[in-house]
Amino acid sequence: MIINGEFFQIDFQKKFGQNFIFDRNLLDAIALDAGVTKEDVVVEIGAGAGTLTAALADKAKQVISYEIDEALRSVLDRTLAQKTNVTVIYEDFLKKSAPLPTPFKVVANLPYYVTTPIVMRLLEGEERPESITVMVQKEVAERLTAQPGTTEYGAITASLDLVADASLMRVVGRKCFLPPPNVDSAVVRIDLADKGYTKEEIDFARKIIRAAFNMRRKTLGNALAALFGGKERANEVIEKAGFPPSVRGETLSAADFVSLARAAL
């Protein structure tokens, strides 16, 4: 792999889902999509060969980058040698030991297999960023930004919408990566937002969302029966919230799920 005119021999690890970005215009575009400024501390998940890390460092106050693959240490020592505002932590982000500084923004080219756990950790955990800008599989991007009633709309979409707003920023062809993945990708920006819901309402709405989408093909009354201790009680809650028991969960917005939570609390 050639970075800034220098050749690097990299043993790409499939187990870590490594697909590195090498297009400088795309790297700058991702930093722009994230709205990174000299006032920002950026947390990057997956430094890879350091190409995105370097682009972020040029625009941010500080970059803290997590990298699970220790074998990339020698590569990153060279590609980031001139970036004095970068700290690389060789650790699995999902098992990290140190707290993150606040406030912070997250920017990442995420391995596809950890996209959902990382995004949900950031949305539901105690350490919440101002925004999350991630390169993900195009299919996942479509799910994160889907509208109620569409095929792509699911539990992760509704859960995200409780606390944030997601936008698909750009679609990225597979040829922009090395090695090229088997599918196209997309950049999604997620802006955390206070939508006026209490923590209790959000927590209960998430339980309702999980139950509703675990039985996606069933009516909401049937899907929520176990959660509410019986279909009769589930239907009472649904009707109190202003919906017919025959409604299906995939047609409801995040605000609708909060209405159900309020009716039950």
Domain spans, the chain: 2-192, 199-264
Q: How many angstroms separate the CA atoms of 22 and 207, rounded?
A: 41
- How confident is the prediction along the chain (265 residues), in pLDDT tens digits per residue? 545 645 444 554 444 444 677 788 999 999 999 999 999 999 999 888 888 999 999 999 999 999 988 888 988 998 899 999 999 999 999 999 899 999 999 999 887 778 889 999 999 988 999 999 999 999 999 999 999 999 999 999 999 999 999 999 999 988 777 666 778 899 999 999 999 999 999 999 999 999 999 988 789 999 999 999 999 999 999 999 999 989 999 999 999 999 999 999 9
Main-chain dihedrals φ then ψ at residue 46, nearest 5 degrees: 95, 85
CATH architecture of 2-192: 3-Layer(aba) Sandwich (3.40)
Packing angle, helices 231-240 and 254-264, rounded to 10 = 120
**pTM for this entry:** 0.88
Contacts of 225 (CB under 8 A, 6+ apart): 231, 234
Common-topology check for domains 2-192 and 199-264: no
Q: Which pLDDT score is estimated for 106?
A: 98
| Burial profile 29-68: b = 16 or more Cβ within 10 angstroms, e = fewer | bbbebbebeeebbbbbbbbbbbbbbbbbbebbebbbbbbb
Domain 199-264 -> CATH class? mainly alpha
Token pair 């088997």: residue = 182
Q: Which pLDDT score is estimated for 11?
A: 52
Q: Which pLDDT score is estimated for 44?
A: 96
